[in-house]
Amino acid sequence: MFVAYMWTGWEMVRYHSTCSPIDRPAYVGHGLGIKLLVGLIWPYVTMRGRELAWFAATFAGSVVLVGIALYFLHPMGVPVWLIVGAIPFLRMLPVVGFVLNAPVAIVATLVFFALFRPFGAKMPNSMERAARHT
């Protein structure tokens, strides 16, 4: 859960850093320390930005990924600390990252549209804007 929580905060900061200037929160212009702090409190930040549903769904996808990794690798003798420590780094590698991030994106999308969308949740504005321009 901790790895999924931290990874979701990292994803939020990374996502906000790549948004168009109109959608970019002010904290993105600050230093690494502020970005780390904001990443630690991502539920509050995303609630204020009306993005909590999307990032909660992303968190659920990350929990599923970590759970699957633990389910398959721990019985094979891989220590939990290695699994938990390796996942964030492996998700940043190009090919391995795609293989690991695809299930997270699929689960996040399913959770969002099945659980949050029926209650009126919306995708982040910048994602909707980008989807309309493609």
Query: DSSP string of 68-114?
Result: HHHHHHGGGT--HHHHHHHHHHHTTSHHHHHHHHHHHHHHHHHHIII
pLDDT confidence tier of residue 19, bands split at 50, 70 and 90: confident
Mean of pLDDT over the chain: 87
pLDDT at position 124 is 81
Q: For the residues 26-31, what does the mean pLDDT come to? A: 91
Cα distance between residue 40 and residue 22, in whole Å: 24
pLDDT tens digits for range 37-49: 999 999 999 898 8
Tokens 């996502």 correspond to 15
Tokens of 82: 């290695």
Indicate the helix (H) or strand (E) that contains 60.
helix 52-73
pLDDT tens digits for range 102-123: 888 899 999 999 999 999 888 8
Tokens of 112: 């969002």
pLDDT tens digits for range 59-97: 999 899 889 888 998 899 999 889 888 888 888 888 888
Domain ranges of the chain: 2-132
Cα distance between residue 104 and residue 98, in whole Å: 10
